Amino acid sequence: MSELRGRLASWDTVIIGVTVAVLIAATAGVENFGNGTNFTFLILDLLPIALIALPMTMIVITGEIDLSVASTLGLTSAIMGDLWNRGLTIEMIIPLCVLIGALLGAVNGVLINRLGLPSLAVTIGTLALYRGLALVVLGDAAVADFPWAFTGWVTGTIGGGPIPNVLIVLVVLAVIFGVVLHATPFGRSLFAIGANDQAARFSGVDVARTKFWLYVVSGAIAGLAGVLWTLRYSSARADNGAGLELAVVAAVLLGGVSIFGGRGSLWGVLSGVLLLAVLQNALRLQDVSGQALNIVTGVLLIASVLLPNIITGVRDSLHRRRLRAVPVKSS
């Protein structure tokens, strides 16, 4: 019973409940929120955030962070446009862009785990570096005219209904990441690293190699998000995805992943992504400005860091009070 109460009181359970409540309120109170077309756009809008949040969840659980993901998306989008201009086929360009994203992630991995540099400083640096390289590759130009078979699939829906085709990609990857994180020894090693990397190392976990591959995967997923972003808008631009890293980090922390590592769940993060997307979509339908949306994202980011600590502090205080109330038996 106490385990059930603890589970119900956990942050990711709370955020799932809040997401459901906000969904119901938006459907009932915001005009056009519940129609099929808006639902399709809602899923398409949250897709890049949700995709990048999958590996970001694992990285933050180990106590690290990757702020270069949006610039990786922009650089792979620019390279995609450049390769298309050079006459490569789209079938060759897509895997190349995912591979380039993985290489960009590997650069972060080497700098952080082989040279021992802090992930915050490294990924802020590569955030600027990759965005600058994107401008070098494509400048201010935009490349369009990608094959309709691909752009149409990304923007199309399953059976003409409201569910976009690309949701299949997200569901498959979410299941894979969820199983790896919550049901494998590798996933348990990530929590161990985040809780105490020295103890994890003494337990036989290769901390440096594990973190390196997390950054490689993060780069590859950001590259895939860049491909899908470009095909959705049929526009390869150097500034694609600018500022997206803020929404990804906000969704991960909002979903209950501790910024200090060692705690979190993928299902809580996906709920955080959905909550963020629903709030922004509902506010846009109410003609709220883009600046106000940034304020909402910022407030949620602060709240997602502050509230779990308050809840944990209150819970620990009540636990200590109960322990003091237990009478000590004399021997």
- pLDDT per residue as tens digits for the range 126-185: 999 999 999 999 988 899 889 999 999 999 999 888 899 999 999 999 999 999 999 999
Q: What is the pLDDT of residue 195?
A: 92
Percent of the chain with pLDDT over 90: 59
pLDDT in tens, 53-90: 999 999 999 999 999 999 999 999 999 999 999 999 99
Distance CA 224, CA 236 (A): 13
Distances (CA, A) of 237 to 47, 51, 131, 305: 18, 20, 11, 33
* pLDDT of 7 over the 70 cut: no
pLDDT band at 328 (very low <50, low <70, confident <90, very high): low
pLDDT in tens, 277-300: 998 888 888 887 777 777 877 787
Q: What are the CB-based long-range contacts (under 8 Å, 24+) for 304-307?
A: 304/250, 304/253, 304/254, 304/255, 304/272, 305/253, 305/259, 307/11
pLDDT in tens, 181-214: 999 999 999 999 999 989 999 988 999 999 999 9
DSSP state letters, 178-197: HHHHHHSHHHHHHHHHHH-H
**Residue 111 CB neighbour total at 10 angstroms:** 19
pTM, 2 dp: 0.88
Percent of the chain with pLDDT over 70: 95
Q: What is the pLDDT of residue 4?
A: 47
8 A C-beta contact, residue 217 and residue 105:
yes
Distance CA 143, CA 138 (A): 9
Q: What is the pLDDT of residue 5?
A: 53
